[in-house]
Structure 1
Amino acid sequence: MAVEQVASGKGQAGGSLHAMGVICGLAAGVWLGAAEAPTKLVNAGFSPFAVSLCMVAGVFTARWTFPTLLKGTSYVFADLLAKKHLVVWAILAGALWAVANTLTVFAIRDVGLATAFPLWNTNSLIGLLWGRLLFQELRGAGPKNTIKVVVGAIAIVIAAIMLGFSTIHGTGAVAPHAIRGLIAAAGASLMWGTMYIPYRKAYLSGMNPLSFVTAFTIGELGTMFALTWTLDGGIHSSAFQLVQSKQLLFWLFLGGFVWVVGDLFQQFAAKYLGIGRGIPLSNTNQLWGLAWGALVFGELATADRSHRTLVLAGSILMIFGALAISTAVASSREHLSRNEALERECVRYGLEYREVLLAQSGDEFGSRTERRRWWDVLIVATATGIFLWLGLNAVVPPLAMNLHWVAALSVVLFVALAGGGWALWKQTRFS
């Protein structure tokens, strides 16, 4: 009976999973928006490859820590071994992310964060297109829900552009490498939008997001190291100088840590809402990134009335877009269409349909052990030790900051973490 209810999407389960996915998508936006500040270090004389590689090192450390802490390596590796075909997809997604992240650093250097950020956030529209073409998302959704999702996604992108332009003021001089920067931002959008294909394949096959990101990070770090070695001077890369700058390295690791928390929420949102709904919700990070820039670093202190009007209008439009998507609860017909895509994955890779269907709804592998091993403790202790060592050697960057707003926005971060974490634990035990 439970499986039939899950298959049709009827009853309380469908609505509660949608609500949980919305909470995860919005929490992702809060955390992803706070992870952008370390990219300012690109102006400190280090190459974009160096900055990206060190951030990915922080991401790698955090990505292994959270799955180990929440589920244990025994669970994670059992999940990976049960779906070996998805490991290569996870590594491919990590490689796409590494290329996209590097392109964003180039874009920030050449045209600035305010212009680049909204351009690469158009990845939600690319993800929406791939979701419809490859996984039949929104099929059977009905005109009302389709309009909500599509219009909501477009509204969020338009709002992101408005918020980006709101931070551009002053002389209006054109950056010397503006075209190159715009191409880099567009390339990042394409890479990230395409990266969601492996996400959806993994979750249609019942893989836990915590398992997926563990393999994902291998593609990230390996690709980023290869890019740095081949395109940034090999052994002479400024990445090796940055590694020795422990006072700066901590902030990049911290940025990677914050990004991983946001990305994990984004992964769960993609699993329970699909990429067409989950990714646009997480792209509300533009609003939170602006909040950190304007309130903490005073980026709008000298803005004129027209720019402040853009901030207000863009913020309202983004909230409208998120509200439209969050109220577009999938119908029974849409759930059946999703299950048809799930069945095709099961036939293609020889998976057990009932097991995958339950996993898709957060009720997976009750017999799988989550017992912690001694090496789990070692992994968490090592990661904690790395952060403590870097933190003790860190120096606060010489940037003017409003500490009251730092405290207020930090409270928002922890509220989002507690709310999203509680929702996931209560309903799925992080499955």
Structure 2
Amino acid sequence: MASVVQKATRHGMSLHGLGVICGLTAGVWLGAAEAPTKLVNAGLSPFAVSLCMVAGVFTARWTFPTLLKGTSYVFADLMEKKHLIVWALLAGALWAVANTLTVFAIRDVGLAIAFPLWNANSLIGLFWGRVLFKELAGASPANIGKVVLGGVAIVIAAIMLGFSTLHGDTTMAQHAGRGILAAIGASFMWGTMYVPYRKAYISGMNPLSFVTAFTVGELGTVFALTLALDGGLHSPSFNLFHHHGLVFWLFLGGFVWVIGDLFQQFAAKYLGIGRGIPLSNTNQLWGLAWGALVFGELAGADSRHRLLVLGGSVIMILGALAIGTAVASAREHTSQNEAVLRECERYGLDYNRTLASQAGDEFGDRSERRRWWDYAIVSAATGVFLWLGVRAVVPPLNMNLMWIGVLGVLLFVSLVIGGWSLWRRTKFC
């Protein structure tokens, strides 16, 4: 069987290059997904925001895998690796807790401070990747330096960009400690969540299959958190679903987040969590763009804050460039294949088929035929968004509509580039 590197060359695009494209595309979409959570500043409960966003995530997550591969494909993949279903549910639970903590953090210290704090998850993911999956084992000192320093640079840049939006606002000082702890907790939750990601992908599971089980864990956990901590069945969070004009925007945030996360999943598959997650965490740059250009967070900023924006942006770009050029050597690929072999021996998987799946090559006789219920799922999900959309009202926030249009176009362009690259190279495998 040809090696992973040989397969990549044969298809005309390296897996490393594909992973970099996916990671950067994820950053564009994940940065945009946090904008709707600013509705928490309009007086909504953090549990309500989280529950509605996750409901949107749930709806979108079932739509994309069904649309791209069909449920027959997805469930056949899940049944081949039943042990990974538990890991996917665990990852979903970790995500749900982290997402709820981020909403608390945004409420108490604002998006500008909370965002860079929870984006430190990339360093936690880098640690777990090295300890549990031997990522960077066999890498050259130059590549290790690029990945580690690039990841650190992205976190430092995120902090600089976050503080660039602080200029004299002391209204949240009362609960600053609580908000910072919430953001740090989210960072640890998300950093650990990448462990199930990597475990699934070195076992050959398709990201589209993984997220299907993942979403059950996240929706169930958010629902349980709301029942346990926000008033049970009488929680005001459930009343928010009657406010269709606001619910649409939170569902839309979940929809945008799903697209970003799918690209993040593919980046983690083809680059590993040590490289893929820091690249997707360039979302801070795009989050700042939405905050500054759409919501006016830099209005009235002095030269010192503008210098933070410029410096943070440059450092983040350099960090992403360092990681993007850290192409794995043959020795590192050998170490990765040994990690795959350990998983195969532990769970009785076919080693050659698993390696083929890691190269983006489909294997087996898995059908992608669409069934009638596939069309019903897509139609129902589309109907939910349309029903909420026609009842939507403009949120009670000051927004620049021109910049919403510009950033929306950039979202679409990144989706076309990332989606076309994945389809051309792997057919979304």
Task: Out of 28-37 and 294-303, give the one that drifted further.
Answer: 294-303
CA distance in 2, matches of 1:389, 1:7: 47
**What whole-Å deviation, never above 9, does each CA across 1:152-179 have from its counterpart, x for those lacking one?**
0000000000000000002556611111
Alignment-derived partner of residue 296 in structure 1: 294
Residue 171 to residue 404, structure 1, CA distance change in 2 (3 Å)? closer
Task: Out of 392-401 and 277-286, give the one that drifted further.
Answer: 392-401
One-letter code aligned to 2:71: T
**What whole-Å deviation, never above 9, does each CA across 1:13-40 have from its counterpart, x for those lacking one?**
6961110100000000000000111111
One-letter code aligned to 1:303: A
Alignment-derived partner of residue 97 in structure 2: 99
Residue 293 to residue 40, structure 1, CA distance change in 2 (3 Å)? same
Alignment-derived partner of residue 34 in structure 2: 36
Alignment-derived partner of residue 216 in structure 1: 214
Q: Pairwise mapping of residues 9-28 of structure 1 onto structure 2 (< 5 A)?
A: 11=9, 16-28=14-26
Kindly state the Cα deviation for residue 194 of structure 1 after the two structures are TM-superposed: 0.1
Q: Which runs of 5+ in 2 are unaligned?
A: none
Q: Pairwise mapping of residues 355-370 of structure 1 onto structure 2 (< 5 A)?
A: 355-365=353-363, 367-370=365-368
Alignment-derived partner of residue 155 in structure 2: 157
One-letter code aligned to 1:270: A
One-letter code aligned to 1:54: C
Residue 173 to residue 382, structure 1, CA distance change in 2 (3 Å)? closer
Kindly state the Cα deviation for residue 316 of structure 1 after the two structures are TM-superposed: 0.3
Kindly state the Cα deviation for residue 12 of structure 1 after the two structures are TM-superposed: 5.8
**What whole-Å deviation, never above 9, does each CA across 1:266-300 have from its counterpart, x for those lacking one?**
00000000000000000000000000111112111
Alignment-derived partner of residue 78 in structure 2: 80
Structure 2 residue aligned with 1:228, among 210, 214, 226?
226
**What whole-Å deviation, never above 9, does each CA across 1:54-82 have from its counterpart, x for those lacking one?**
10000000000000000000000000000
CA distance in 2, matches of 1:349, 1:367: 21
CA distance in 2, matches of 1:141, 1:390: 50
CA distance in 2, matches of 1:122, 1:220: 21
CA distance in 1, matches of 2:410, 2:361: 30
SS at match of 1:160: helix
CA distance in 2, matches of 1:25, 1:354: 26
CA distance in 2, matches of 1:173, 1:386: 37
SS at match of 1:177: helix
1:421 aligns with 2:409: no
TM score, norm. by length of structure 1: 0.97
Q: Quick check: 1:7–1:357 contact (8 Å CA) kept in 2?
A: no
Q: Quick check: 1:10–1:332 contact (8 Å CA) kept in 2?
A: no
Alignment-derived partner of residue 344 in structure 2: 346
Alignment-derived partner of residue 64 in structure 1: 62
Alignment-derived partner of residue 274 in structure 1: 272
SS at match of 1:363: coil
Alignment-derived partner of residue 287 in structure 1: 285
Q: Quick check: 1:160–1:286 contact (8 Å CA) kept in 2?
A: yes
CA distance in 2, matches of 1:46, 1:416: 31
Residue 302 to residue 115, structure 1, CA distance change in 2 (3 Å)? same
Kindly state the Cα deviation for residue 389 of structure 1 after the two structures are TM-superposed: 0.2
CA distance in 2, matches of 1:251, 1:117: 20
SS at match of 1:4: coil
CA distance in 1, matches of 2:30, 2:358: 25
TM score, norm. by length of structure 2: 0.98
1:170 aligns with 2:168: yes
One-letter code aligned to 2:419: G
Alignment-derived partner of residue 122 in structure 1: 120
Q: Quick check: 1:9–1:335 contact (8 Å CA) kept in 2?
A: no
Alignment-derived partner of residue 330 in structure 1: 328
Of all paired residues, the percent bearing the same amino acid is: 75
Task: Out of 254-263 and 11-20, give the one that drifted further.
Answer: 11-20
Kindly state the Cα deviation for residue 367 of structure 1 after the two structures are TM-superposed: 2.3
**What whole-Å deviation, never above 9, does each CA across 1:173-218 have from its counterpart, x for those lacking one?**
6611111111111100000000000000000000000000000000
Q: Quick check: 2:8–2:14 contact (8 Å CA) kept in 1?
A: no
Q: Quick check: 2:8–2:15 contact (8 Å CA) kept in 1?
A: no
Q: Quick check: 2:8–2:359 contact (8 Å CA) kept in 1?
A: no
Alignment-derived partner of residue 113 in structure 1: 111
CA distance in 2, matches of 1:251, 1:42: 12
Alignment-derived partner of residue 394 in structure 1: 392
Alignment-derived partner of residue 131 in structure 2: 133
